[in-house]
Structure 1
Amino acid sequence: MQHTIVMTGASRGIGRIAAEHILRQSPHVHLLVVARAASGAQLASELSTGGHAVSHVPADLGSLDSVQSAAAEIRDRLERGDLPPLRAFVGNAGMQYTNALTEGPDGFESTFAINVLANHLFVRLLQDRFAAPARIVITASDTHFGDFKHNLGMVPGPAWKSPDVLARTGAFPKPDTAVGGRTAYSTSKLAAIYLVHEYARRLPAGVDAVAFNPGFVPGTGLARNAGPVTRFAMRRILPVMTLTPFATSRSAAGRCLADVVLGTTQAPTGSYVDRARAVRSSEESYDPQREGELWDAAERFIAAYGT
């Protein structure tokens, strides 16, 4: 049966590989990629090679106005019948900055805006358009564990605070440093898991929500805002780690993401999938009080954008 999958973060890294794998494995999919206007049309053209059904909607995920416009266009196309029924949303796009002081056009700290609020706004604006069985997949990160086993000491663990603090710049110590930026990143990924738990409680029956952890994947575009030494290491040195158990190759992580989206990997709603299997996330990530507080705050933050 023809159906639509909406995906962010499909232009590079594990998202690009996942998109290609989804199209190969599921010929009935219409893949709608959300990307910046300059790259979206080219991406859709490249992915549609071989007769695959691919289209794009432009959006800057750092701007909630732009996300709202993209979601409205997707809704319109679904309602007109220009797209087949919506069966999945994949929030794969993510950003890590070299500080915790980067502010987006809506006044939110940019890591939080892109990694948390953009996904939440898409989910809420598209919520009533999903045709069950449907699945929401949000790319998380094992940096949310905050221990050496999961991050090899490269990323500080999350430092949870009130969502009203996390949503603004300067939430962490040394906010003008890379340590501040990386702390914002790991904390945003913890927030993403909290919201997945809330989606599992609140979304209609038949619409599942899953957090996906690709593991440490060197060579993606995640560090594109880092300094030249870090970018060089991510591109040229750290990929060697994929030969060990401590890292995942882009191709393997992309295939795992596709399998979660397509349901090949069994994962009940609210679960955390570590590459190819559902496991427990960190103990800190199971906190109903924080989850509810974050939900309430996120609802306030996006209330002006049509939800």
Structure 2
Amino acid sequence: MKHAMHAMHTIVMTGASRGIGRVAAEQILRRSPDAHLLVVARGSSGAQLAADLATGGHAVSYVPADLGSLRSVRSAATEIRARLDSGELPPLRAFVGNAGVQHTNALTEGPDGFESTFTVNVLAHHLFVRLLQDRFTAPARIVITASDTHFGDLRHNLGMVPGPAWKSPDVLARTGAFPRPHTTAAGRTAYATSKLAAIYLVHEYARRLPTGIDAVAYNPGFVPGTGLARNADPLSRFAMRHVLPAMTLTPFATTRGAAGRHLADVVLGTTRAPTGSYVDRGSEARSSEMSYDPRREDELWDAVERFTRPSS
């Protein structure tokens, strides 16, 4: 993998503007001078982000997209394809789906009629993978940021986040999929479930994508202070800001810097991770027992293919 990264190549990344994504983007540019980093971000924030990351002479550009809208994602992916085809961008070697959203309810509907957590955390990245898959130059790598909330046990999240509650994808993709859908607990259940779905899809990519395109799920661990809880209730926000950062001194939590470095390691191939695997911070590991389920994976694949088809 590493030797092939020496020619100029493109890495497309979502969720690079803050938190671990921002650290990872800076690390990738510093450690891989041949990388052209293409950041996908909302409107004018993408231009600002690209300008900030480009200081020091790095090659950075951006494509605007609202990941909450499949139409917007489709047009961004189409623009990236056109730039690759015209030679404006060097060959595509990596896609990093790091963006994630968590709501304070399970009732937030996006413009496509799907629940917003599911749209951003599952459908948007799936659409990017599918629209870019024939533009990768092997060896290439797709990295999707997962979360150990998908275990749903005390050991992985101290019981702070409810675990996933799997249902038919046709239910999960819509608002109100979980009990008491107006509550923060339902919003967090939607988040944990979307991260389980992302792991299922990584297993499907490993089966279905052409040889030479690896797909890996990356778990940053529990990282306080990344802004993920910015929509949370005041008490949770207080805990996230003042109590939990102290926990980064314990083995339970990961600092933003370490999590960003680990993500860069996976993207750059420094961390060995075969296709379909799950990387827990710095090394390959097993994800939860329920995350290995070929029947659910196949059902989810069919559903997300249907949900992301262009509406004529």
Normalising by structure 1, we get a TM-score of 0.99
Residues 68, 305 of structure 1: 8 Å contact kept: no
1:272 aligned to 2:278? yes
Q: Distance in 1 between matches of 2:77 and 2:231?
A: 27
> CA RMSD, aligned part only?
0.9
- Measured against aligned partners, the alpha-carbon deviations of 1:246-291 in whole angstroms (never above 9, x if no partner) come to 1000000000000000000000000000000001100000000000
Instruction: Tell me the equivalent position of 2:3.
Output: none
Q: Distance in 2 between matches of 1:103 and 1:231?
A: 23
Q: Distance in 1 between matches of 2:299 and 2:10?
A: 32
- TM-aligned CA deviation for residue 131 of structure 1: 0.3
Amino acid across the alignment from 1:134:
A
With 234-243 and 2-11 compared, the bigger mean Cα shift is at: 234-243
Aligned length: 306
- Measured against aligned partners, the alpha-carbon deviations of 1:134-178 in whole angstroms (never above 9, x if no partner) come to 000000000000100001111111100000000000001111000
1:22 aligned to 2:20? no
1:83 aligned to 2:89? yes
Structure 2 segments unaligned to the other structure (5+ residues): 1-6
Instruction: Tell me the equivalent position of 1:110.
Output: 116
Q: Distance in 1 between matches of 2:249 and 2:296?
A: 38
Match among 28, 36, 45 for residue 42 of structure 2: 36
Amino acid across the alignment from 1:140:
A
1:201 aligned to 2:181? no
- TM-aligned CA deviation for residue 304 of structure 1: 1.3
1:254 aligned to 2:260? yes
Instruction: Tell me the equivalent position of 2:4.
Output: none
Instruction: Tell me the equivalent position of 1:175.
Output: 181
Secondary structure of residue in 2 paired with 1:304: coil
Instruction: Tell me the equivalent position of 1:226.
Output: 232
1:66 aligned to 2:66? no
1:239 aligned to 2:245? yes
Residues 64, 305 of structure 1: 8 Å contact kept: no
Q: Distance in 1 between matches of 2:59 and 2:238?
A: 36
- TM-aligned CA deviation for residue 305 of structure 1: 6.1
Fraction of identical pairs, as percent: 80
With 236-245 and 102-111 compared, the bigger mean Cα shift is at: 236-245
Amino acid across the alignment from 2:250:
T
- TM-aligned CA deviation for residue 230 of structure 1: 1.9
Residues 212, 273 of structure 1: 8 Å contact kept: yes
Q: Distance in 1 between matches of 2:8 and 2:193?
A: 37
- TM-aligned CA deviation for residue 234 of structure 1: 1.3
- TM-aligned CA deviation for residue 236 of structure 1: 2.5
Q: Distance in 2 between matches of 1:279 and 1:226?
A: 30
Q: Distance in 2 between matches of 1:224 and 1:70?
A: 26
Q: Distance in 2 between matches of 1:38 and 1:105?
A: 20
Q: Distance in 2 between matches of 1:26 and 1:61?
A: 27
Amino acid across the alignment from 1:63:
S
Q: Distance in 2 between matches of 1:67 and 1:297?
A: 18
1:216 aligned to 2:222? yes
Q: Distance in 2 between matches of 1:101 and 1:236?
A: 29
Amino acid across the alignment from 2:90:
P
Q: Distance in 1 between matches of 2:191 and 2:294?
A: 21
Q: Distance in 2 between matches of 1:132 and 1:214?
A: 26
Instruction: Tell me the equivalent position of 1:148.
Output: 154
Q: Distance in 1 between matches of 2:262 and 2:48?
A: 25
Amino acid across the alignment from 2:48:
Q
With 235-244 and 212-221 compared, the bigger mean Cα shift is at: 235-244
Q: Distance in 2 between matches of 1:183 and 1:113?
A: 15
With 260-269 and 225-234 compared, the bigger mean Cα shift is at: 225-234
Instruction: Tell me the equivalent position of 2:290.
Output: 284
Residues 101, 175 of structure 1: 8 Å contact kept: yes
Amino acid across the alignment from 1:151:
N
Instruction: Tell me the equivalent position of 2:269.
Output: 263
Residues 65, 305 of structure 1: 8 Å contact kept: no
Amino acid across the alignment from 1:80:
S
Amino acid across the alignment from 1:214:
P
1:297 aligned to 2:303? yes
Q: Distance in 2 between matches of 1:74 and 1:271?
A: 27
1:50 aligned to 2:50? no
Match among 160, 171, 178 for residue 165 of structure 1: 171
Structure 1 segments unaligned to the other structure (5+ residues): none
- TM-aligned CA deviation for residue 237 of structure 1: 2.1
Q: Distance in 2 between matches of 1:18 and 1:302?
A: 28
Instruction: Tell me the equivalent position of 2:197.
Output: 191
